[in-house]
Amino acid sequence: MRIKSATFIVSNQEVSKCPKSNLPEYAFIGRSNVGKSSLINMLTNQKKLAKTSGRPGKTQLINHFLINENWHLVDLPGYGYARVSKSKKNTFQKFITNYFRDRKQLVCAFVLVDIRHEPQPIDLNFMQWLGENNLPFCIVFTKSDKLKPKAIETHIETYTALMLEHWETMPKYFITSSTKHQGKDELLNYIETINFSIRS
Ligand code: GTP
Ligand code: MG
């Protein structure tokens, strides 16, 4: 899929205030600093569409972007950022959870995982929760530029083995790097295929 337009629509903390249209929607979620906002910029060929930062906790709202006038891409705050206060963390968790539970337009969640790290309970628990709520998701491994190809292969094997302890199959996954533009075509083509199947 070619990105012809990508426009910021609205930011908020309430799923009831998200765009009312029925356009298919894809959300990017994962730990703080994993690279959600950077990935969105990479996919849309823009440098500053989604705000990024080296410090975790940059994205604090549900951000809707309209792509090619016919689908939404959503940038969410990260989970598991220890330095925000406990009450703030609870507020975050609550509106993120509400978003996933109530947003009927959501077609697929992309759960981002830093390819350098061992499988983390917080990610595995979140995927478990998505599964229990019948919410389709894919895994997006980020920052692949930080590892050599062999290490990537080993990491994917370890991750797959662990996932298979809890899941019948390994969810669909993508290996990406926002700095090297890796995984872009695969992700966009996947979204295009789903959009096509929904509409036909
Ligand atoms: P929060 O909004 O705080 O939850 O973070 P986020 O998941 O949106 O992460 P963000 O895109 O802001 O990126 C966090 C940091 O990781 C920034 O310093 C980025 O430059 C860096 N980063 C993101 N993606 C990549 C990547 O593919 N490769 C490398 N090397 N760095 C990356
Ligand atoms: Mg962000």
Give per-residue pLDDT as tens, 73-97: 999 999 876 566 666 667 667 889 9
Burial class, 87, CB count within 10 angstroms (exposed 0-12 / middle 13-18 / buried 19+):
exposed
Q: Give me the architecture of the 6-199 domain, per CATH.
A: 3-Layer(aba) Sandwich (3.40)
Given a contact cutoff of 8 angstroms between Cβ atoms, the answer to whether 81 and 32 are in contact is: yes
From first CA to last CA, the distance across the chain in angstroms is 17
Q: State residue 58's pLDDT score.
A: 82
- What is the model's pLDDT at position 199? 84
Q: 27 is written with which tokens?
A: 């959300």
Closest atom of ligand 1 to 53 CA is 12
pLDDT of residue 88: 66
The domain limits of the chain are 6-199
Q: Which of 11, 28, 33 to mutate to test the pocket of ligand 1 (most atoms within 8 A of CB)?
A: 33
Distance CA 166, CA 93 (A): 24
How many CB atoms lie under 10 A from the CB of residue 79?
A: 19
Distance 150 CA to ligand 1 centre (A): 23
Name the stretches of the chain with pLDDT < 70: 81-89, 91-92
pLDDT value of residue 89: 67
- Span 101-110, pLDDT tens digits: 999 999 999 9
Q: Cα 189–191–196 angle (5° rounding)?
A: 95
Helix or strand holding residue 153 (H, E): helix 149-163
- The pLDDT of residue 83 is 61
Return the pLDDT at 85.
67
Q: For strands 6-12 and 62-67, give the pairing.
A: antiparallel
pLDDT at 9: 96
As a whole number, the mean pLDDT across the chain is: 93
Q: Which of 63, 51, 67, 65 is nearest to 3 (CA)?
A: 67
Q: How far is residue 175 from each of residues 42, 146, 168, measured CA to CA in Å?
A: 14, 12, 21
What ligand has the least distance to the C-alpha of 42? 1
Residue nearest to atom 14 of ligand 1 (CA): 33
Cα–Cα–Cα angle for 122, 180, 183, rounded to 5 degrees: 60
- H-helix or E-strand spanning residue 137: strand 137-142
C-alpha 43/C-alpha 41 separation (Å) is: 5
